[in-house]
Structure 1
Amino acid sequence: MTKFESYIESGVVVLDGGMGSELEKRHIDVNNSWWSASALIQSPDDIREIHKNYFNSGAALAITDTYQAHVKSFTDQGLSETQAYELIDSAVSLAKLGLKESDRSDGLIAGSVGPYGAYLANGAEYTGDYHLSESEFQAFHRPRIARLIADGVDVLALETMPNFAEAKALGHLLQKEFATIDAYLSFATENGDHLWDGTPLSEAVAYFESISQIKAIGVNCTSPQNILPALEKIAPNTSKKMIVYPNAGDEYDPETKRWVSQHGPINWAELVPVWQTAGASLIGGCCRTSPDDIDEIAQAITNTNQ
């Protein structure tokens, strides 16, 4: 049994929260095509410290700052391929250092694999409106996946996937070329009913039932109010563990590359037990959530399990 499998079989796993918003709180400008990955150059120590803070808040899993760290993203802006790969290496090292410096004795490192839409840097991960062939999707994702595996991540986080064709291409790529790595797959959904590209969530989830490397499946970066409807679509269509990590309920403006706040405080103590009852066993936060939110999520899980 792999390390990731042993964690998810032992109980509810608490994930970390947002990276970009935590960097913004530290006055680091992430309003660019690299988004939070730009901090790998600007301020790597802040990334390490944010990872540490999440572990100390109760997270058992850190998601590397590679969501937008595509090799092509970096080379498009003038970096060499060597420099691009070194930034991916740095992202994994910073997550590992954050764990080592935290109060936890052990934890997981998930290598973030964001969608092609994130590379486009125009908000396409919230529309799914882009089209490549399967081989083109695979050629795009292959270099980063290979490097994350070489850097020793415990699991690949195929996250915020809004496009069913891309998700299928990634699943097939793992089967064909990276057969020994565990992964989880998390879709981007507008309202918990379908992917942003229009594919019914139930259909998308069912498709991956036969891909054994994908150990958990679910949704992320959608409003907390969409999580229960999503779980109700996911649960009948999978035997895998279910993963949910919503954003804070804000809406993303692709023009300004800013989040617009439209919510009050989130009652994690009320929401998390409902999600657990619906079957979720990996729970955390995404954009605009903080270590305080993860602390509340971890406490809610502890209280539910007592």
Structure 2
Amino acid sequence: MKMTSRPRRATPANWCGARSRLLIVGCGDVARRALPWLARRIRVLALVRSDAAAADLRPLGVRCVRADLDERRSLLRVAALASRVWHFAPPPNSGSATDPRSRALVNALARAGRVRRLCYISTSGVYGDCGGALVPESRPLRPASARGKRRVDAERAVRTLARRGVAVSILRAPGIYGPDRLPLERLQRGDPVLQTDDDVHTNHIDAGDLARLAWAALHRARGGRTFNASDDTRLKMADYFDRVADAFALPRPPRVTRAEAAQKLSPMTLSFMGESRVLDNRRMKRELRVRLARPDVNAVLAAALNSPSTTS
């Protein structure tokens, strides 16, 4: 699946037939990386909340539809526009352990009755801390953070569409990185990482590869399937930061105890340092059959070092 082709500019005559359309809910960085090749394969619509967002997306071959996940009535106008949906929008950053945005979208899609396939990008945080164990998709969900609990609620919400005959697939993504999504500013600030005895296993997926997996899920995933969308890197978090620092000739971050880290880092950053797991990605490889363009951190760093935007 090549991603180097130029997108085709959409015209009004292109937008007929819900079966040939993909609706993107949450057209952020991951989805935008897919647009150059996606717009050549299917008619793309995106939910937007502002004229500025629409002006940014239209040149990429996207038809924009104004709606807001926080305003349920606005969703009625978009729910019947496409038979396939990418749901990449995150839950609210605060509030209860539920995701009202996903529930509003699901209710609108269910009422319209047009969607046939939906892919939702969740997070590996739904597993909670696994003590560094290898984690398959069948592992019970035990999120410790409110952020993880809201994602569990979102997964439950989208699964209810199966009762309407919708083939739902869920990608549980870990940390999303890429040649232009590396922790260089954090390294330049000298933020600490955990010492070896306190350190945790971390997992990543390249942003462009995540988009490719979401596309494959719409076509190849059996309804109701969940996938750990992770690459083949097997590193602890501090070792990952060391690898990035070495690649860019930056000082390695200082290693501190967990107690010292609690005095220097934000609660959000600390929450990621409190969970350790190694995602089992064998189901993803076997069923989605996508060869990752950047299958590990070495490939991501090589691409970054060859990019003028990260080396200038």
Shorter-chain TM-score above 0.5? no
Higher relative contact order (CA 8 A, sep 6+): 1
Q: Computing the radius of gyration over CA atoms, which structure comes out larger, 1 or 2? A: 2
Report which of the two has the higher share of helix. Answer: 1
Q: Which category of TM-score, normalised to the shorter sequence, fits these structures?
A: 0.3 to 0.5
